[in-house]
């Protein structure tokens, strides 16, 4: 056994299948412009490779310090931030959100109809913090998911009130108050629906802490972990490192949809989206994931307590079921069969139902096809960065899991 395998328990020759697969199936044929993969085990970096181009139009290759739009991989960071306030006693998970947002005391639940003909009822119980963190609050994405569009009368209500995350100009308080005027899609705690809930969590971080979300994340997570390139926009001195973002068209070609030279991510947004607004590097996200793997601490800096993190990784779906039996709506950043959801993360709860080699992982992905997962039992962290929308075009994530887990030999 060579030293590399002894440290990581991963066969380096088998890990090289990652690059062979990505080059053969995706980068070479032009299905994605470029990507980056990071694998660490037992705290040792086992694999770190970049493939293809970060900017196809200018022929610029992916580099170690390329900055990616991580979109919904923002959600676990925001969820951890909110739970650090839980640890300080500001709220309990079963507390109603209306403790901090008075306008939510008058919420209604959609029953039928739309517009002025909409029929609503009172919620059986108030929306709680656990509902928000686990996407069971009755909120939706308001027609704001890429490629999904408006699917329900409640979504139209979001649009009518101008609810926005990326590109929005509301303050946290204004954002929360607007949402309090929109009927919930379903009774709180009865179903799961991917939603704007983590943006609400970010707004609550501001309301409870008294600090802007960006400042709180910087002080509590980014600075302690040394995440030097993560934030809600790319500063001018780092602009050359931002990747281009592409969309897969029906004719199977790639269309540039966000040019790094004039991207909105080059400007600080008015509304900081805790659900999908961050950009960052693979190296930065590895710092965050290693903190999670080590139970909330990295290099002597504790971000969150190990018992709190264990709680966040429990399956909070009703009756311990999976997403396939509880989800409303057809889109999120995960498959549904055999998958549970906790306080900011999805996790495998039934390996035979997921039909994958992973059985103790928790994870989430982003709209541009990125993903990370942490496996405490295997002491494993994997991060995949790319910029292709929408994220459901290819199953790169599942294929990557097969290759990585098949590389574990000790």
**Contact, 35 vs 328, CB < 8 A?**
no
Query: Cα 168 to the chain's mean position, in Å?
Result: 19
CATH architecture of the domain 78-214 equals: 3-Layer(aba) Sandwich (3.40)
Measured on CA atoms in the order 123, 124, 127, 132, is the torsion positive or negative? Answer: negative
Residue 117, classified by CB atoms within 10 Å of its CB into exposed (0-12), middle (13-18) or buried (19+), is exposed
Q: What's the pLDDT at 149? A: 55
Q: What are phi and psi of 391, to 5 degrees?
A: -80, -10
Please state, in angstroms and rounded to a whole number, the distance separating the CA atoms of residues 66 and 55: 10
Decide if 5-73+226-406 and 78-214 have a common fold. yes
- 10 Å Cβ neighbour count for 191? 18
CATH architecture of the domain 5-73+226-406 equals: 3-Layer(aba) Sandwich (3.40)
The SS3 assignment for 334 reads coil
Q: What's the pLDDT at 189? A: 97
Residue appearing with tokens 């032009």 = 30
Please state, in angstroms and rounded to a whole number, the distance separating the CA atoms of residues 109 and 333: 26
Please state, in angstroms and rounded to a whole number, the distance separating the CA atoms of residues 273 and 240: 23
Say if strands 388-389 and 245-248 run parallel, antiparallel, or are unpaired: parallel
Burial 281-308 (b: 16+ CB within 10 A, else e): bbbbbbbbbbbbbbbbbbeeeebbbeeb
**Contact, 277 vs 269, CB < 8 A?**
yes
Q: What's the pLDDT at 202? A: 98
Q: What's the pLDDT at 345? A: 96
Cα–Cα distance list, 343 to 77, 231, 257, 340, 351 (Å): 11, 22, 32, 10, 20
Residue 115, classified by CB atoms within 10 Å of its CB into exposed (0-12), middle (13-18) or buried (19+), is exposed
Q: Where are the domains of the chain?
A: 5-73+226-406, 78-214
**Contact, 97 vs 106, CB < 8 A?**
no
Please state, in angstroms and rounded to a whole number, the distance separating the CA atoms of residues 92 and 84: 12
Q: Which two tokens stand for residue 268?
A: 């600080």
Burial 370-398 (b: 16+ CB within 10 A, else e): bbbbbbbebbbbbbbbbbbbebbebebbe
Q: Give the pLDDT of the chain (410 residues) as one tens digit per residue.
A: 455 667 899 999 999 999 999 999 999 999 999 999 999 999 999 999 999 999 999 999 999 999 999 999 999 999 999 999 999 999 999 999 999 999 999 999 999 999 889 999 999 999 999 999 999 999 999 876 655 555 799 999 999 999 988 888 999 999 999 999 999 999 999 999 999 999 999 999 999 999 999 999 999 999 999 999 999 999 999 999 999 999 999 999 999 999 999 999 999 999 999 999 999 999 999 999 999 999 999 999 999 999 999 999 999 999 999 999 999 976 788 889 999 999 999 999 999 999 999 889 999 999 999 999 999 999 999 999 999 999 888 889 999 999 999 999 99
Of the candidates 179, 181, 156, 25, which has an alpha carbon nearest to the alpha carbon of residue 106?
181
The SS3 assignment for 11 reads coil
Say if strands 119-121 and 380-386 run parallel, antiparallel, or are unpaired: unpaired
């Amino acid at each position: 056994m060579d030293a590399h395998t002894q440290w990581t328990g991963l066969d380096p020759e088998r890990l090289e299948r990652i690059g062979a697969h990505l080059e053969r199936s995706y980068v070479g044929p032009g299905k994605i412009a470029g990507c980056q993969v990071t694998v660490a085990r037992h705290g040792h970096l086992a694999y770190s490779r970049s493939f293809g181009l970060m900017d196809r139009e200018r022929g610029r290759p992916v580099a170690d310090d390329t900055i990616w739009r991580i979109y919904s991989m923002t959600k676990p960071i925001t969820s951890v931030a909110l739970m650090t306030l839980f640890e300080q006693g500001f709220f309990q998970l079963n507390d109603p959100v209306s403790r901090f947002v008075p306008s939510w005391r008058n919420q209604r639940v959609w029953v039928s109809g739309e517009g002025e003909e909409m029929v609503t009822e009172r919620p059986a119980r108030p929306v709680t913090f656990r509902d928000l963190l686990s996407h069971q609050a009755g909120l939706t994405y308001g027609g704001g998911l890429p490629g999904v569009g408006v699917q329900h009368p409640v979504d139209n209500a979001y649009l009518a009130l101008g609810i926005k995350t990326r590109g929005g100009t509301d303050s946290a308080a204004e954002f929360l108050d607007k949402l309090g005027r929109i009927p919930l899609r379903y009774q709180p705690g009865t179903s799961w629906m991917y939603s704007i809930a983590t943006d609400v969590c970010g707004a609550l971080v501001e309301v409870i802490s008294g600090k802007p979300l960006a400042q709180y994340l910087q002080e509590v997570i980014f600075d302690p972990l040394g995440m030097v390139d993560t934030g809600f926009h790319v500063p001018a001195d780092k602009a050359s490192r931002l990747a281009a973002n592409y969309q897969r068209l029906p004719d199977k070609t790639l269309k540039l949809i966000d040019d790094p030279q004039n991207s909105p991510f080059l400007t600080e947004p008015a509304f900081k989206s805790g659900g999908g607004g961050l950009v960052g590097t693979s190296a930065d996200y590895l710092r965050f994931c290693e903190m999670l793997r080590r139970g909330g601490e990295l290099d002597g800096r504790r971000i969150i307590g190990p018992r709190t993190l264990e709680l966040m990784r429990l399956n909070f779906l009703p009756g311990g079921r999976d997403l396939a039996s509880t989800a409303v709506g057809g889109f999120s950043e995960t498959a549904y069969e055999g998958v549970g959801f906790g306080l900011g993360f999805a996790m495998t709860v039934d390996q035979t139902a997921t039909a994958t080699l992973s059985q103790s992982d928790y994870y989430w992905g982003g709209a541009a096809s990125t993903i990370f997962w942490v496996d405490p039992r295997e002491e494993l962290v994997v991060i995949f960065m790319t910029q292709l929308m929408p994220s459901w075009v290819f199953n790169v994530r599942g294929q990557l899991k097969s290759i990585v887990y098949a590389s574990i030999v000790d």
